[in-house]
Amino acid sequence: MKANLPEAEPRQLEDWNQKRLYDRILASREGAPLYILHDGPPYPTGEIHLGTALNKILKDMVVRSKTMAGFRAPYIPGWDCHGLPIETQVEKELGRKGAVEPAEFRRLCRKFASRYVEAHIRDFQRLGVFGQWDAPYLTMDFDFEARIAGAFLEFQEKGYVYRGKKPVYWCLHDRTALAEAEVEYDEHVSPSIWVRYEVIQAPIDPQRRGRFYALIWTTTPWTLPASLALAFHPDFKYVAAEDAEGNVYLLAEDRLEPFMAETGVQLTRRAERIEGRKFEGARFHHPFLDREIAGVLADYVTLDQGTGIVHTAPGHGAEDFYTGQKYGLEAYAPIDDEGRFTEGLDDYRGKTVFEANPLILDLLRRRGALVASSKLSHSYPHCWRCHNPVIFRATEQWFVNMEHRDLRRKAIENADGVQWIPDWGRDRIESMIRTRPDWCLSRQRMWGTPIVVFYCDECGKRLEDFAALKHVLDWFRREGADAWFARSAEELLPAGTRCSCGAGRWRKENDILDVWFDSGSTHLVVLDYRDAYHRFPADIYLEGPDQFRGWFQSSLLVGVGLRERSPYRSVLTYGWALDADGRPMSKSLGNVILPSEICQKWGADLLRLWVASQDYHADLRMSDRMMTQLAEAYRKLRNTFRWALGNLGDFNPERDAVADADLWEFDRWMLSRTAELAERSRGWYDKFEFQRVFHAVQDFAVVDLSAFYFDILKDRMYTFAPASAGRRSAQTAVWRIAHALVRLVAPFLVFTAEEVWKYLPHRSGDPESVHMARFPAADEFGAPLDERLGANWNRLLVLRERVLRALEAARNEKLIAGSLEAKVRLGASDGWRELLEAYRASLPALLQVSQVEVAPMRPGDGDGSAAHDGLEIEVQRAEGAKCERCWNYSLAVGTFTEYPTVCERCFAALGEIVQAAGESGKSGR
């Protein structure tokens, strides 16, 4: 029974798979209450990393502990198959974008995802995770795509969905929207200009000879035609400063000096000083257009650069856009796909934005709005494909209105009813929902669920006949969402679907859904449409802290939006997997440790122990040192089991177990303590506090069993007659303890527990796998030991500790070596006397010495060396000779002619053995 987990575990997996153990575990819980952990779908790319393994192992431990607590707890793993990362991988394999038709491109994406799903399944199984691996859910399943598209239609039908504008990264060269991940930053030289906006109305009106201006700074002159507001920081102080001509400028107090230093413009500061927040609602003149500009407030205004006043173009910046939303400003972006101005002054209309930069500079100069200008080299986003600088451009997108039908308020209310573990999760999700903008659902991509919208070819109106629209879902169910790309609008819609204008030709929407909408909809399918385990809401969602913004939120919004309630009853979150120094693992840092490496070097049970040993609510660290430490802990636990199994070789619980009443009191005491451990562990499993179970079990195995109980039992196990009442009592206790302990560790040490279970003697009712068993129940350990008797043993434990210290002292003085060479004289005062007399017969075994003498305390002996608290301990050499058989010393050794080298206990034991051999006709030990 050597460990060698990396080799043994795969064999065990093979065996489990052949037996279809997962199915049989569920079958064994037929009729039991359901407990549903709904799996958050990972993204199928690359090899699983430590965080993914942590995720799956925790889920597995929850599912297993619930199963062992008596629930029917199926686990249906899933994958989030659509999305940009796969598209870019496939594009990389193809060599370029747009190399194949959309339908073919999607086929390749599907294939790519399938490939990695299969790799993941192997990886996850290797970790010992049990689940429905032969029927996982995939968001790219035809049925799934139909359900997701259907959910979008339902959102639309309920009136949540609207079309609005939002700025996205846009590449002028490729004429396409770019995702965050497709943008890379590079040095770029931009104009750096200071522009003045004349004040129409502001909270101050300084006396001046000239005019009154607000001063702004920008590196994108071309965004000025779309300038709709000036943003002030509510907490900054703003001042007025006068130039040589008597014009007065408004800017942040802390930016006055830097401005003069950078531009050489001389200004004289005036007395006025005013808080930024007062400028909300102020009004300004656009520098060259006939437009009034609003004063607004924004937290992102900084004092690092510029003037502390930010020109805001909601159509050309992410922050500007949110500010615009807040103040009801349009995401105005008067440029086309090539970046050419579609309206505005002749100076720049028809030019691209980069061509327009110098032209607008000229324009500003002519209008007298340019205060200063220079150049600035800074980090600027570029297209990762063509390496040209990109811009922010507002485009038409689909949104979910957070206020419609009180979605935001209801989501917060429902989140409040969820049990968040740890409970700060509630505050975190609530504050996020409270401040989040409308949900932008659309993506200008191909590999995803299409947004099912048709426009009339004639009048451009949207089709709103939902019965007809739902017809499309049938196509999806048959052919997958690929049908959207492979079939014409007329094929997809029922024959003769007409617009209210009378036309019958339609144009399909090109956008696809945000993948968060896919994953946010998983509960609609997995919790509902898999009839066998119908349970809505799920009992638990379990993911990392990044999912407060991700899956927890998207699932909640879909659940509340369509079902009026949260799809989960409780949410358990864990921390991040970090390296030994507490830094996140990354390729660039070169500190990545992969689960496959751990499995190969240490075994999956060790990786699971890594999870079980730490408080996962905070971040978890991984290091070689920790793995070494866990391996030591594992070996100790394993050897403890091994000793128990080795001593149960001739024990059949149904034939040899001793009745409760006949168990030795010492054994009953240890069983009581095991019962307590089991009881506490069940409570900890219930609260998902796995590390408490691990530490308590480890402590128990090391301290109570290995160093104490089992060590003491060796005498009984090795020297008593095999079938003697005393030895059978010990075996009964050891069997019950091992039987209980193996089930307590089964949720984390899945392979090792099964191995122990295999070698453990069983009763006829025991299941064949430890993973079908239930946690030890209170009544498995016999009647609990009387409290008074338990107290006696706790005192005897104190006695033992003190005797061990005295023995150590004797060892150092070379009086004895092994403890059996000792005789201990206990001088006891009244407090101890009664107890020691009562347990006198048990003392040599308990103290692991050959002889114990209990005597009154020596009067007047108070030197304090070994005597205190009414107990005096004196170590002497044991009397008599060493028994060859049991190694105890006894005066009786040599007195038995039949067995001259043996003590009186062994003489008796040998007699029993001979007698038993005679009765059964077989030999003894």
Q: Which amino acid is at 9?
A: E
Question: How far, in Å, CA of 246 to CA of 260, rounded?
Answer: 16
Distance set, CA 430 to CA 210, 408, 434, 537, 575 (Å): 51, 10, 6, 19, 19
CB of 129 to RNA, least distance (A): 22
CB of 764 to RNA, least distance (A): 29
Question: How far, in Å, CA of 109 to CA of 89, rounded?
Answer: 9
Please say which residue, 110 or 739, places its beta carbon nearer to RNA: 739
Q: Which amino acid is at 642?
A: R
CB of 43 to RNA, least distance (A): 13
Q: Which amino acid is at 802?
A: R
CB of 820 to RNA, least distance (A): 8
Question: How far, in Å, CA of 820 to CA of 887, rounded?
Answer: 7
Please say which residue, 492 or 671, places its beta carbon nearer to RNA: 671
CB of 694 to RNA, least distance (A): 8
CB of 491 to RNA, least distance (A): 38
Question: How far, in Å, CA of 686 to CA of 684, rounded?
Answer: 5
Question: How far, in Å, CA of 180 to CA of 153, rounded?
Answer: 27
Helices assigned H by DSSP within 127-210: 142-157
Burial label for 100, CB within 10 Å (0-12, 13-18, 19+), is middle
What is the full DSSP assignment across 287-316? SSSS-EEEEEE-TT--SSSTTSEEEE-TTS
Please say which residue, 736 or 771, places its beta carbon nearer to RNA: 736
Please say which residue, 208 or 811, places its beta carbon nearer to RNA: 811
| Residue ranges with strand state E in 754-909 | 822-828, 851-856, 867-868, 871-877, 881-882, 889-890
CB of 735 to RNA, least distance (A): 16
Please say which residue, 533 or 574, places its beta carbon nearer to RNA: 574
Do the Cβ atoms of 695 and 686 come closer than 8 Å?
A: no
CB of 616 to RNA, least distance (A): 8
Residue corresponding to tokens 């730490």: 614
Please say which residue, 540 or 630, places its beta carbon nearer to RNA: 630
Question: How far, in Å, CA of 350 to CA of 868, rounded?
Answer: 101
CB of 885 to RNA, least distance (A): 5
Please say which residue, 75 or 551, places its beta carbon nearer to RNA: 551
CB-side neighbour CA atoms (13 Å) of 126: 22
CB of 551 to RNA, least distance (A): 11
Distance set, CA 156 to CA 82, 148, 401, 451, 763 (Å): 21, 12, 10, 10, 61
Please say which residue, 335 or 847, places its beta carbon nearer to RNA: 847
Do the Cβ atoms of 61 and 568 come closer than 8 Å?
A: no
Question: How far, in Å, CA of 319 to CA of 316, rounded?
Answer: 9
Please say which residue, 722 or 767, places its beta carbon nearer to RNA: 722
- Residues pairing with 252 in the sheet: 238
CB of 76 to RNA, least distance (A): 25
Do the Cβ atoms of 473 and 150 come closer than 8 Å?
A: yes
Please say which residue, 249 or 720, places its beta carbon nearer to RNA: 720
3-state SS of 627-644 is: HHHHHHHHHHHHHHHHHH
Please say which residue, 18 or 923, places its beta carbon nearer to RNA: 923
> 183-201 and 283-285: which strand pairing?
antiparallel
- Residues pairing with 229 in the sheet: 294, 312
Please say which residue, 706 or 895, places its beta carbon nearer to RNA: 706
Please say which residue, 699 or 837, places its beta carbon nearer to RNA: 699
- Start-to-end CA distance of the chain, whole Å, equals 23
CB of 896 to RNA, least distance (A): 16
Please list, residue by residue across 867-899, b when 16 or more beta carbons sit within 10 angstroms of its beta carbon and e when fewer do.
beeebbbbbbebebebbebbbbbbebbeeeeeb
Quote the tokens at residue 239: 């001042």
CB of 50 to RNA, least distance (A): 12
Please say which residue, 262 or 619, places its beta carbon nearer to RNA: 619
CB of 691 to RNA, least distance (A): 5
Reference 329, options 164, 496, 127; nearest CA is 164
Please say which residue, 506 or 643, places its beta carbon nearer to RNA: 643
CB of 689 to RNA, least distance (A): 7
How many other C-beta atoms can be found within 10 angstroms of the C-beta atom of residue 699?
12
CB of 920 to RNA, least distance (A): 23
Please say which residue, 32 or 804, places its beta carbon nearer to RNA: 804
Please say which residue, 640 or 672, places its beta carbon nearer to RNA: 640
Taking each helix axis from N to C end, the angle separating 725-745 and 710-719, rounded to the nearest 10 degrees, works out to 140
CB of 763 to RNA, least distance (A): 24
Question: How far, in Å, CA of 166 to CA of 802, rounded?
Answer: 76
Which residues contact residue 441 at a Cβ distance below 8 angstroms, ignoring those fewer than 6 apart?
Answer: 152, 161, 397, 398, 399, 400, 451, 513, 514, 517
How many other C-beta atoms can be found within 10 angstroms of the C-beta atom of residue 788?
7
- Residues pairing with 871 in the sheet: 828, 868
Question: How far, in Å, CA of 837 to CA of 846, rounded?
Answer: 14
Residue corresponding to tokens 């509960």: 523
CB of 387 to RNA, least distance (A): 23
Please say which residue, 647 or 729, places its beta carbon nearer to RNA: 647
Burial label for 56, CB within 10 Å (0-12, 13-18, 19+), is buried
Reference 538, options 551, 547, 550, 526; nearest CA is 526
Do the Cβ atoms of 218 and 224 come closer than 8 Å?
A: yes
